[in-house]
Amino acid sequence: MPGRHVAPLIATEYELRELVAHLRDQGRFAFDTEFVSEDTFEPVLCLAQVATRERMVAIDPLARGLDLEPLWDAVLDPKLEVVMHAAGEDLRICRLQTGRLPSRVFDTQVAAGLAGFGYPMSLVNLVGQALGIPLSGSETRTDWRRRPLSEAQVSYALDDVAHLLDLADFLRGRLDSWGRSAWAEDEFAAFVASVRRRVEEDRWRRLPGAGTLSRRSLEVARRLYDWRIEEARASNRPIRQVMRDDLLVGIARRQPRTKRDLEALRDFNRPHLVARSREILDVVAEALLVPEDRLPEPSERPDDLPGMPMLTSLLNATLAHCAARYQISTGLVGSSNDLKALVRWHLDGRPDQLAPDLLRGWRADVCGRALLDVLSGRLALRIDDLGSEVPVALEPVPPHPPAATDSPDGSP
């Protein structure tokens, strides 16, 4: 690339420290990673790519004796801005490697959603639309663990950071002109916080079907989830290879007491599971001994209301209308779960201290108040332009006239 030095793979401590000194001098850099997660308990970091205005470099985490601590220190340094695209997995890698998350992230995917582009949008499409630069995707199935990497593989990996700084500048300029820079900063911080929550929360509660389990079955599911993680860690296999989510929930629901009960479950006939029958039954037995008052409470399900599906559809149309007015992708503004949380909050008397996400920050201005007005009957949806992508409009509901009464002389 003209004006930018592209170096071979960095594989020594001296080269890495020299690079990090350059990053600190620049105060800002683009960052991306390549990893493989199909065969191991935790993803294997295979490549890290960085770019400044002057240099573009790939770092080899698999090089013998190379400690990436100086690089991670730069990523985590609040004095440095780290530009990434769809940073969720890269942040997860950072969290696994360091136990921490950076505080100054500019995510071009999030910024694009606030700046009139789609969300979520691939880097290839975004660079093409925003900068008019075509990117290749020919190495997407690369096994990044293999060495040596070809020039084509390294070149493809560097494409992921080559244009990020220009893209961030373009998006920042548009956000500034639209008065949305503060929105973006809030959203970047919320995005990093959401990654932190996913790491720290009780992930077993997100098992498909867990919402239908009894309190006793939830305790079985929780203990089986912990057992599965330890088994996956010990054997260095992905969690799904130890036991699938649906089978785990099926065991929790059935609460088997004997090997025959357990092996009667569909898909339990796999050798690695049959060999662990005794351990699994012991986990279930321990859960069955937990006193009633120590069992987990079921998660609240706001979709229990009989009219919730229809109400959510109506609010989704309202949300789409508001997002279109502000040229923000609906997917970035909120989801069906966010709408259900808003409905539940509204029905619970609108407690100030528990305001849902759609009523916080920029979302309150974009759609939150309109959604509340629809819920309260002050705004109504009407069909507008049938040729439009969002063919609805909002209009005030006129006040109801007073009920007709008879005149004093008895005439109507």
Instruction: Tell me whether residue 405 is in a domain.
Output: no
In terms of phi and psi (left: phi > 0; alpha: psi -120 to 50; beta: otherwise), the region of 296 is beta
Residue 409 has a pLDDT of 52
Instruction: Tell me whether residue 179 is in a domain.
Output: yes
CATH number at residue 287: 1.10.150.80
- Please, are residues 62 and 53 in contact by the beta-carbon 8 Å criterion? no
Which of 158, 178, 200 finishes a domain?
200
Q: Are residues 174 and 136 in the same domain?
A: yes
**Cis upstream peptide for 120 (omega within 30°):** yes
* Residues facing 106 on adjacent strands: 83
Q: Are residues 68 and 135 in the same domain?
A: yes
Residue 1 has a pLDDT of 47
Instruction: Tell me whether residue 33 is in a domain.
Output: yes
Residue 202 has a pLDDT of 73
> Tens-digit pLDDT profile for the chain (412 aa)?
445 666 678 999 999 999 999 999 999 999 999 999 888 989 999 999 999 999 999 999 999 999 999 999 999 999 999 999 999 999 999 999 999 999 999 999 999 999 999 999 999 999 999 999 998 765 566 789 998 988 888 999 999 999 999 999 999 999 999 999 999 999 999 999 988 887 766 788 889 999 899 999 999 999 999 999 999 999 999 998 999 999 999 999 999 999 999 989 988 988 989 999 999 999 999 999 999 999 998 876 555 678 888 889 999 999 999 999 999 999 999 999 999 999 989 988 888 778 899 999 999 999 999 999 999 999 999 998 888 888 989 999 988 665 555 544 545 4
Instruction: Tell me whether residue 402 is in a domain.
Output: no
Q: Are residues 255 and 331 in the same domain?
A: no
* Structural tokens at position 38: 């199909």
For residue 297, the tally of other CB atoms under 10 A from its CB is 7
Q: Are residues 52 and 172 in the same domain?
A: yes
Alpha helices in 237-384 (DSSP H): 239-242, 245-254, 259-263, 271-274, 277-288, 308-325, 330-333, 336-347, 361-363, 369-375
Instruction: Tell me whether residue 406 is in a domain.
Output: no
Nearest to 36 by CA among 149, 197, 193, 136: 149
Residue 83 has a pLDDT of 98
> What's the pTM?
0.85
Q: Are residues 315 and 275 in the same domain?
A: no
Chain centroid to CA 341: 18
* CA distance readout (Å), 213 to 74, 164, 218, 246, 258: 45, 45, 6, 12, 21
Q: Are residues 276 and 318 in the same domain?
A: no
CATH number at residue 129: 3.30.420.10
Which of 200, 221, 252 finishes a domain?
200
Residue 143 has a pLDDT of 85
Instruction: Tell me whether residue 91 is in a domain.
Output: yes
Q: Are residues 33 and 166 in the same domain?
A: yes
Residue 99 has a pLDDT of 92
* Residue 63, amino acid: A
Which of 265, 294, 323 finishes a domain?
294
Instruction: Tell me whether residue 84 is in a domain.
Output: yes
Instruction: Tell me whether residue 407 is in a domain.
Output: no
b (16+ CB within 10 A) / e for 12-32: eeebbeebbebbeebebbbbb
Q: Are residues 10 and 155 in the same domain?
A: yes
Residue 385 has a pLDDT of 84
Q: What domain range is 384 assigned to? A: 302-396
Total number of domains in the chain:
3
* Residue 269, amino acid: N
Q: Are residues 27 and 172 in the same domain?
A: yes
Q: Are residues 132 and 267 in the same domain?
A: no
DSSP 135-196: ---TTTT--TTSSSPPHHHHHHHHHHHHTHHHHHHHHHHHHHHTT-HHHHHHHHHHHHHHHH
Q: Are residues 258 and 307 in the same domain?
A: no
Q: Are residues 248 and 288 in the same domain?
A: yes
* Residue 212, amino acid: T
